[in-house]
Amino acid sequence: MTKSGARLIKSGLATLGIELGSTRIKACLIGEDPKQILATGAHDWENQLEDGFWTYSTEAIWNGLEATLRDLQDNVEKLYGIRIKNLKAIGVSAMMHGYLVFDARGDLLVPFRTWRNTNTSAAAENLTRLLGVNIPLRWSVAHLHQAALDKETHVPQIDFVTTLAGYVHWMLTGRKVLGIGDASGMFPIDNSTRSYDSVSLNAFDEMQESKALKVDLIELLPQILLAGENAGHLTQAGAALLDPSGLLQPGVPLCPPEGDAGSGMVATNSVAPTTGNVSAGTSIFAMVVMERELNQVHSELDIVTTPVGDPVAMVHCNNGASELAAWVGLFKQFSELAGQNLDSDKVYEILFREAMNGESDAGGLLAYNYLAGEPITGIAEGRPLFIRKPDSIFSLANVMRSQLYGVFGTLSLGMAVLRKEQVRVSKMSAHGGIFRTSGVAQRILSAAISAPVSLSSRASEGGPWGMALLAAFSVSGESSLSKFLDEKVFDSEDMVSVQADQGEVEGFDSYLQNYRAGLPILATAIDSLP
C-alpha cells in the first residue's frame, strides 16, 4: 500500500476532501479506489463569542486550513517520503447555515455569524409563517431577515450572501457557487427544478424589510450546483491560501462545496430514498431522505436536500458531544494527577465501556448538554446541567450513561415527530468520533430512535471522507451518485449493525420522560443565572 500510495500521490491522482467542523478542521486524502484512505490531517479550533455572536475570524479560517494542510503534508511525508504537489480533485465542506455577507468589493461586512446563534427567533417566525415551510433560527435567510428587522447598517451594502463552505470555495476558485445540499440550508428549494423556490423568493422580496436590500434576493445568493457538476479550478491565489509554501499547484478541479450534512450523507451511503444517517459532533443531527412531502410543517424538522437535490427531513440539535467531552476531560485531568497520563482515546474507551454497566435508565440521573440554545425544546440559551435526586443511583457508570443519553436526548424528541409522520426509514447509519468505541454510542443511539443503527469501519472519518468521495465522483464520469456509492465505495463494505434490546429501549424512554419533565429547570437556570 505504501508504494502504490506514493505512486498515486506523486502522479497527482489522489483526491482531497476538506471539512471545517465546529471544533476541528479535517482533511482526508483518498486514492483511485475511493475506499482507500491514504492520509489525513487535522487542526483544532474553537468558535468565539464576540459582541453577542458566535463567530470564527477569517484569520482563524485560513490559519486553520493552512495548519490542516500542513499536518496532512507532514503525515504524507512520514508515510510515503514525499509531499503533495498536485491532486486529481478537491472538495470543501463545512458546517451549514450561518451568515457571511460581503460588499461589492468582496469585503466582509460583519464577522461570520455561525449556525449556533439563536438571536433570529423573530425572523424565523416571520419567515415560517410567510413561506409556509419551517425556517429554523440557524438558516442564512433567517440571519439576513433578522439583520433587516434590526435595521443593521450593513444591510444595504450586501452584494453576496453565502455559507462557510461557499466562502472558502469562492476564495479558492473565484466562483460564487454552492452545492444544493448546503444551499437548501440557506433558502427553501424547489425539488422539481433543483433551484431556489421562486414563490418563496418573490414573497421574501415583497416584505417591507427586504426593501433595505439594493437588489432581489436571488442576485445575492450563490449559484446552485448539483453533485458531479464542475465548480471551477484551484487558482494560483487559492493554492497559496492552502499551501503558502508554493508546493501545491493550481488547476485542480473542485466539486460543488457542500454542508456537513451532505458530506455525512455521502460518507454513510444515505442519499437514496428511505435511507438516513446521524452525524454526531458539536451539534448532532439526523437526516432521512423522504419518498414524499410531509403532511404539515413541524418546528422540529427542516427540509433540506441531498447533494443531488432529493428532499431530506433534518432533525438538527444545536448541542451534541461537547459537554460529554468536557466531562471526559475532567477524568483525563484526574488520570494525569494520578500519574497515569492516559491519552484521550483511552479515557473515552474506559468511560464508555463503564457506561454500559449502568442502569438502563441511568439510575435516575439527568444530563442536559445545552452549551447553546436549543430550538427544538424551546431553550433560548445554553446552561449545561447535571441533576440527580437523593434516591438516584450515583455511580460512575450511571454518570457516564446519563451523559451519553444527554447527547441523544433532544434528537430522540425530533425523531419521534418523523415517526408520527410515518416517514419510512429502511436503513439508519451513523458517523462521528463519538462512535469510535465500538458498540457503545451506537447501541445508545439505537435505543434513542428505536431502530437498528449501522456503522462502517470509516465512521470516525465522517465528513472529510464524504467530501473526498464527492470530489472523486465529480471527475469519475459517473452520472448517478447513488450508483457510484453503491458500486464503487460500499460494494464490499462490512457494515456493523446494532439493535438495542427492549430493556434498553424502555430504559431510554424512562430517561426521556424525566428529561422532558426537567426542561423547565433549564429555563429557570437561564433566568437565575443570566
pLDDT band of residue 341 (cuts 50, 70, 90) is confident
Q: What is the DSSP letter of 440?
A: S
478 bridge partner residues:
none
Three-state secondary structure call for residue 323: helix
Query: With pLDDT > 70 as the criterion, what percentage of the chain qualifies?
Result: 98
Residue 404 pLDDT = 98
Q: Which 3-state string (H, E, C) describes 103-125?
A: CCCCCECCCCECCCCCCCHHHHH
Residue 492 pLDDT = 63
Residue 484 pLDDT > 80: yes
Residue 1 pLDDT = 52
Residue 282 pLDDT = 85
Any domain includes 267 = no
Any domain includes 344 = no
Question: What is the spatial distance between Cα 169 and Cα 84, in angstroms, rounded to a whole number?
Answer: 20
Three-state secondary structure call for residue 277: strand
Query: How long is the chain?
Result: 530
Three-state secondary structure call for residue 60: helix
Residue 64 pLDDT = 98
Residue 135 pLDDT > 80: yes
Nine cell digits for residue 268: 454513510
Q: Using an 8 Å Cβ cutoff, are 366 and 339 in contact?
A: no
Residue 219 pLDDT = 98
Three-state secondary structure call for residue 15: strand
Residue 496 pLDDT = 85
Q: Using an 8 Å Cβ cutoff, are 307 and 470 in contact?
A: yes
Question: What is the spatial distance between Cα 355 and Cα 66, in angstroms, rounded to a whole number?
Answer: 38
Opening angle at CA 208, ends 205 and 212, nearest 5: 75
Nine cell digits for residue 473: 465522483
Query: Which H/E stretch holds residue 428?
Result: strand 427-431
Q: Using an 8 Å Cβ cutoff, are 76 and 38 in contact?
A: yes
Residue 495 pLDDT = 76
429 bridge partner residues:
277, 454
196-200, 247-251, 418-422, 490-494: which has the minimum mean pLDDT? 490-494
Structural domain for 41, as ranges: 1-95+234-259
pLDDT band of residue 493 (cuts 50, 70, 90) is low
pLDDT tens string 501-526: 999 999 999 999 999 999 999 999 99
Mean per-residue pLDDT of the chain: 94
Number of domains making up the chain: 1
pLDDT band of residue 45 (cuts 50, 70, 90) is very high
Any domain includes 527 = no
Q: How many CB atoms lie within 10 A of CB 59?
A: 8
Any domain includes 337 = no
CATH number reported for the structural domain that contains residue 50 in this entry = 3.30.420.40
The amino acid present at 353, given as its one-letter code, is R
Any domain includes 91 = yes
11-49 b/e with 16+ CB inside 10 Å = b? eeebbbbbbbbbebbbbbbbbeebbebbbbbbbebebee
Q: Using an 8 Å Cβ cutoff, are 138 and 316 in contact?
A: yes
Question: What is the spatial distance between Cα 328 and Cα 172, in angstroms, rounded to a whole number?
Answer: 37
Q: How many CB atoms lie within 10 A of CB 525?
A: 18
Any domain includes 490 = no
Opening angle at CA 318, ends 316 and 324, nearest 5: 115
Residues 265-279: what's their mean pLDDT? 91
Distances (CA, A) of 396 to 223, 356, 525: 51, 11, 25
Nine cell digits for residue 113: 455569524
Any domain includes 85 = yes
Residue 334 pLDDT > 90: yes
Alpha-carbon dihedral 224, 228, 233, 237, rounded to 10 degrees? 60
16-20, 213-217, 277-281, 325-329: which has the minimum mean pLDDT? 277-281
pLDDT tens string 366-418: 999 999 899 899 998 999 999 999 999 999 999 999 999 999 999 999 999 99
177 bridge partner residues:
223
Residue 206 pLDDT > 90: yes
Give pTM, 2 decimals. Answer: 0.84
Any domain includes 28 = yes
